[in-house]
Structure 1
């Protein structure tokens, strides 16, 4: 599995819950959410495009930072 780091513009617990919800729906992912730094680190067999699309379903601004 490859670890990827994303910037997600999360401001509150509700935002991080939304991120967790879409990632859990996708399945096959392990992730850590760093709310203060607005980062999500995802360990997954999915490619970056799939992960980006999934994170964007939250309606937040999402940027791919790079492999971890």
Structure 2
């Protein structure tokens, strides 16, 4: 599942990884230049999106890839 997250640096991507790791059972790949996060998880899209928004960054669901 693909999400847009307005990340500008490694610190931003670390924050994303940190909030996702707290959910547990989440695999993610971060594409920093394109500001995308690819996530493999059993959690609902809403749960993932709420976690991503806890970083303080703008986050949007893009769809499945």
TM-score range (shorter-chain normalised) is: over 0.9
Paired positions, count: 65
CA shift, 1:51, in A, is: 0.3
| Aligned match for 1:57, one of 48, 51, 54 | 54
Unmatched 5+ stretches in structure 1? none
Structure-2-length-normalised TM-score: 0.98
Instruction: Give the TM-score, by structure 1 length.
Output: 0.94
Unaligned runs of 5+ in 2: none
Q: What value does the CA root-mean-square deviation take over the aligned residues? A: 0.4
Q: Which runs of 4+ in 1 moved over 4 A?
A: none
